[in-house]
Copies of this chain bind each other. A is one copy, B any other.
C-alpha cells in the first residue's frame, strides 16, 4: 500500500502525557476535570497553547469561518490533498481531561514525531481542531464539522445563542481577536483521508482488555427538544384537576415514552440531559417545561421508528398542557472507509496492541468529516467507560499506545501519493 518503504517514527510518550497535563490546567475545576466550553476564554486559551507548540515547529495555522482550526505540516507534494487528523479541545461544563484533547494531542504528536525522525511525507498532514464538538454551551454538538460539511448553514450556526444570550458569532469574534497570526481559509476543507483518535467513552475495551478499538462507524443519533406549556398557578390554592401543571405533563409524557421505547436488549440509548422548569419557584405550579431527548441506535430503521414514536407522543394535549417537539439534530448511522480501518489495524498489529473492531456509541466530528473524505477512527480505553465527567481517566500507557498507532496510520496514509 505504501509507495516507498519507510520507517515509522517512534512517538515521544512522556511528551504526549505532559501535554495532556498542560491542557488539563486550562479551565481546571479543581475537582480533577475541566470546564472549557466552546468559544469560552478557556477554550481560546487552550487553542493558544496548542498554537504556541505548533509555531515553535514552524507549522502554519488557519481558521475557517465557523472557527475550525487547521495546522499544516507541509509534505513533498503540497499539491496533493493532505491527510487530516485531529479532534476538539472544547469540553462539557464538567468534562474530563481526555475527551477530544487526546485526538488533538496524539495528532500533534504524529506531526512532531515525523519531524523528530527527520522524515518527509509525500502529502501534507493537517491537524484539525473542530469548533464546538460538545454542544453544551451552543447546541447542537459537532457544530464546526457539520458546518464544514455543509450539513448546517453557517448563518444558522453563527446565530445560535447560549443561555446568557451570547451568539456563536459574538463569541467567535472574541476568539478570533485573541488568536493573532492565524490565517483565514474558506469553509469546506477536505483531504485524502481523515483519521481521528479518541477515548472510547464506553466500557467495552477496558472490560475486554483491548488497547485499540478500530471504529468502523457511528450509531445514529436523534436529538429533540420537547416544549410543554401549561399555566402558572398558586401551589396552595389550585386543585390538581384544574391545574395545567407543565411538570406533571412532562412526567406523564416521559412515563409513556419509557413504556413505548422499552428495550430489553439495552441497545437503545435514551437520555434526558437538560430539563428546565419555569418559573422555578417552589410554591408556583410550573407553567412551562422544556427538555431534551438524546436518542441513539445503530440501526437506521429502528432509530426512525423511535423518533416517530417520540414525535407522535410529544404532541397535542397532555394533562391540559400544550405539548410539542422539534428535532434539533438527526443523523443516520455512519459507515467509515474500510481501507482506513485496515491501516489502523495494521498499525495496532505492528505494535502488538490487542485490538477489536467496534461501532462508536458517541458521535464525533468524524461523522461529518466522512461526508467530505474517507474517514476512520481509533479508540483507546478509558477507566470504567467514564466520560463527560470530571472523573474521566486514561492509563498513561494507553495514551502512548494510541498516539503511536495514530502516528503510524497517519504516516502511512501521508506516504500514499495515489
Contacts and interface: CB of A to CB of B under 8 A. Distances in A.
B233 A385 contact: yes
A242 B203 contact: yes
B282 A273 contact: yes
Contacts of A136: 279, 281-284
B388 A232 contact: yes
A385 B238 contact: yes
A202 to B, nearest CB: 3
A243 to B, nearest CB: 9
A53 interface: no
Nearest to A139: B282
Contacts of A92: 279, 281, 284
Chain copies in the assembled complex: 2
A240 interface: yes
A275 B182 CA distance: 44
A236 B283 contact: no
A251 B387 CA distance: 23
A41 interface: no
A255 B256 CA distance: 12
A23 interface: no
Contacts of A285: 271, 273, 388
Nearest to A232: B389
A104 to B, nearest CB: 18
B241 A266 contact: yes
A273 B284 contact: yes
Interface string A247-286: 1000100110010000100100111111101111111111
A362 B237 contact: yes
Contacts of A148: none
A269 B242 CA distance: 12
Given A134-B281, A281-B92, A239 B275 contact: no
A363 interface: yes
A231 interface: yes
B201 A236 contact: yes
5 tightest A-B contacts by CB? Answer: A202-B237, A237-B361, A236-B361, A236-B362, A235-B271
